[in-house]
Structure 1
Amino acid sequence: MSVIPLIFTSSWASGINAYAVVLLLGLFGRYDGVSSVPPGLERTDVLVAAALLCLCEVVADKIPYLDSAWDAVHTVIRPVAGAVVAALIAGHAHDSLASLAAAAMGGTTALVSHLVKSGIRMGVNTSPEPFSNIAVSLFEEFSVASLVTLALFHPVPAAIIAGVLLLIGVLIVGFTYSRIRRYRIRRRERRQRRALPRQDADVRSGG
């Protein structure tokens, strides 16, 4: 069976929380015997490191502006993690999908997912209260845990859901940025209109 759906879902999830993806895959492979998980992710040192980093991300992800700073730091880390996990899955499954192609697909998908997450968080951070960040963070964590688990047993439905969520996220980011851009244009126009009477008054007084 092709591993493309599993690779796509894990890559999408890596763009949101790469440490949770590694932790979940490793735990399912080690304790539930899921054959599609590469043995390298089941190692004790990998699981411990992933658990500690995942805990840090869970905390940082719920604090306004700290979450955006954390996202900025992970602009490289998440796509690289998505590429590595994708290559490991493809290599472990001996699939016809070459590891290099899997890494390219995984890294690209994780990068797009990461940019969507970062863009949405920047919009959420404009809210004056912290509850929006917490709600969005909890939804992201639930989505990652649910879809990675689903992908291990039912990869195609999980990939479809991940694709829909990715598309919705892209549309939300595009809509948000278009509104911000229109708001800035209107604000600049209002400032220019307010400045014109003062300039006219200065000209008349100078005359």
Structure 2
Amino acid sequence: MFEILTGTGLSAAAGLNAFIPMLILGLLDRYTDLVQLPAEWSWLGNGWVLLIVGLLLVLEIAADKIPMVDSINDWIQTVIRPAAGGIVFGSGVSSETVTVSDPDAFFGGDAWIPVVMGIVIAFAVHLVKMMTRPVLNAATVGAAAPVVSTVEDTASLSLALAAVLLPALVIVVIAAVVLGLWLLYRRFRRPGVRRSSVPRSRF
């Protein structure tokens, strides 16, 4: 059960920001004992890979906070985020963590199954993000972009950490993110308040 929650949390985090969960897994594997990546995923902890992912993360964070640029970035990320979701789901459920001591118990030798699941979950989260951002930007003349982006980055970081350290929290965090995005979309998709129909004075 923890394997599923770990993979779900990591891939959902990738749907919001492709590089945060990858960086979290790599750093924890390289510098702590909290995560032990299996041999096939050990490249995530490579120093050069961490540097490249870190640079891509900086670019992603910057681009996602600029109106119009964020929408272009979302189209580009339509391929990258699901791919990252497959990577972190596959590596996450096959790693030993503080809560998962027997990672092969759930999926066994079918290594492709968690990768596909991660792709699907990340793609679904990405689609929600991609559909709500233009609505919020249009309703707030772009003012919402940096705020919403910061919330999404925070949610991605929270999901990634929860997935590794306390998978039971993944459900709570995902529910909070979905509810928050739905409320924002519902609030700003409505047309502006109509002006009062009180007739003007002729004088």
Compute the displacement of 1:88 (Å). Answer: 2.1
Compute the displacement of 1:117 (Å). Answer: 0.9
1:35-92, CA deviations, whole angstroms, 9 ceiling, x for partnerless residues?
Answer: 3545221111210111010000010011001001000011111111101221222334
Report matched runs for 1:51-130 at 5 Å. 51-92=54-95, 93-97=103-107, 98-130=110-142
Compute the displacement of 1:104 (Å). Answer: 1.9
Compute the displacement of 1:23 (Å). Answer: 0.9
> Secondary structure, in 3 states, of the residue corresponding to 1:62?
coil
Matched-pair contact (CA < 8 Å) for 2:82–2:118: yes
Q: What is the CA–CA distance in structure 2 between the aligned matches of 1:119 and 1:173, rounded to whole Å?
A: 12
For 1:30, the equivalent position in structure 2 comes to: 30
1:8-50, CA deviations, whole angstroms, 9 ceiling, x for partnerless residues?
Answer: 0000000011111111111122112223545221111210111
For 1:9, the equivalent position in structure 2 comes to: 9
Which is richer in helix? 1
Of 139, 144, 149 in structure 1, the residue corresponding to residue 151 of structure 2 is 139
1:125-170, CA deviations, whole angstroms, 9 ceiling, x for partnerless residues?
Answer: 203544311111111111111221122111111x212431454267
Matched-pair contact (CA < 8 Å) for 2:85–2:119: yes
Q: What is the CA–CA distance in structure 1 between the aligned matches of 2:166 and 2:171, rounded to whole Å?
A: 11
Unmatched segments (≥5 aa) in structure 1: 184-207
Q: CA 1:176 to 1:137, structure 2 compared with 1: closer, same or farther past 3 Å?
A: same
Q: CA 1:166 to 1:112, structure 2 compared with 1: closer, same or farther past 3 Å?
A: farther
Residue identity opposite 2:45 in structure 1: E
Q: What is the CA–CA distance in structure 2 between the aligned matches of 1:91 and 1:153, rounded to whole Å?
A: 15
**Higher normalized contact order (CA 8 Å, seq sep 6+, divided by chain length):** 2
Give the number of equivalent residue pairs: 179
Normalised by the size of structure 1, how large is the TM-score? 0.77
Residue identity opposite 2:175 in structure 1: V
> Secondary structure, in 3 states, of the residue corresponding to 2:138?
coil
For 1:20, the equivalent position in structure 2 comes to: 20
